[in-house]
Amino acid sequence: MKRQQPKTCRIFFDAGGSVVRWVCGNLGENTRWVGQNISLGIELEKKLIAGIIINDIRPYVDAWLTIYAQNKKWCNRRVLRTVFEVVFNLLKCRRASVMVDADNIQSQNLVSRLGFVQEGVLRAYQNNGHDALVYSMLTNECRWRTTKNE
């Protein structure tokens, strides 16, 4: 019996804004808040399963990540290495930040497992009135990079 090859995700840079529109549409957000960004799409079997927007970029300082996914297979070493190579090596940021709804335990667990550390709470910050938890990862804390900044 022939063994099936595992399906791999295709990662692509989104030059046309389709990933930003897809992520914002699924999060119920207007695309205007994004501003200048670098966005990545992740496809599996030619279907967009996740989008990552690197926004509010301050090169050499920090960048914020906005992630929306419809399939857990997006979160693999290759994708994570690509994202953090962009943030820490291409942009040379010393920190990456994410914001998670205080009621979203699944996302809180994910960002913690990735190596983000909770920094604070923005009370009643979300559109739905919920608190937002702020997490960050410093460049020297990132285990996903294959090359190191100097």
Q: What's the pLDDT band for 4 if we cut at 50, 70, 90? A: low
**Within a domain: residue 115?**
yes
Q: What is the pLDDT of the chain when averaged over all its residues?
A: 92
**Within a domain: residue 99?**
yes
**Within a domain: residue 57?**
yes
pLDDT of residue 2: 62
| Whole-prediction pTM | 0.89
Q: Determine the distance from the C-alpha atom of residue 40 to the mean position of all C-alpha atoms in its chain, rounded to a whole number.
A: 9
**In terms of residue numbers, what domain contains 99?**
10-141
pLDDT 10s digits, 11-26: 999 988 999 999 999 9
Q: Give the count of domains, the chain.
A: 1
pLDDT of residue 97: 97
Burial letters 77-94, b for 16+ CB under 10 A, else e: eebbbbbbbbbbbebebb
**Within a domain: residue 67?**
yes
Q: Give the CATH number of the domain where residue 32 resides.
A: 3.40.630.30
**Within a domain: residue 2?**
no
